[in-house]
Amino acid sequence: MMHQQKVVVVLPAYCAEATLERTYHDIPRDVVDEVLLVDDASTDRTLAVAAELGITAFGHPRNLGYGANQKTCYREALAAGADIVVMLHPDYQYDPRLIPAMVGMVASNVYDVVLASRILGGGALRGGCRSTSMFPTGF
């Protein structure tokens, strides 16, 4: 909670088994009220890892793509009563420790939205279910 506003982090997941735990543990719980994961029919243990960590998770019965995953994330966050929603990819392409700074800009009514870049600082990471990332290094 920040400035009396409920903060919900949503994790749009696809094959995040290897990085989900690290990402989840670095989410600052003093600011974040709830974490939700939406799995887009991963072929790995993403949903099992989410359950082991106690993350509220939703799973698509088949892969619907990133856009559909985002829609489900936002719908579930709003259903949970979110005032501020933070989308954090569970593949650790964004550093969760920056959440307080980003949420603070929105919670204080300075900005309506805050965006980050996973490309700046060396490029996007490779991994997941595919041999290459959706965004190749240097994109």
- pLDDT in single tens digits along all 139 residues of the chain: 666 889 999 999 999 999 999 999 999 999 999 999 999 999 999 999 999 999 999 999 999 999 999 999 999 999 999 999 999 999 888 889 889 999 999 999 989 998 887 666 665 555 555 533 333 333 2
What pLDDT is stored for residue 80 in this prediction?
97
Q: What is the pTM for the complete model shown? A: 0.84
d(CA 26, CA 45): 20
Q: Would 133 be classed as within a structural domain?
A: no
The conformation of residue 76, written as its DSSP 8-state character, comes to H
Write the CA distances from 64 to 14, 45, 50, 69, 96, integer angstroms. Answer: 11, 18, 20, 7, 26
Q: Would 30 be classed as within a structural domain?
A: yes
What stretches of the chain show up as alpha helix (H) in DSSP?
20-25, 46-53, 66-79, 99-107
The conformation of residue 96, written as its DSSP 8-state character, comes to G
What pLDDT is stored for residue 132 in this prediction?
35
Q: Would 53 be classed as within a structural domain?
A: yes
Q: Would 84 be classed as within a structural domain?
A: yes
Instruction: Quote the number of domains for the chain.
Output: 1
- What is the domain-level CATH number for residue 63? 3.90.550.10
Rg (CA), the chain: 15
What pLDDT is stored for residue 134 in this prediction?
39
Domain of residue 22 covers 7-107
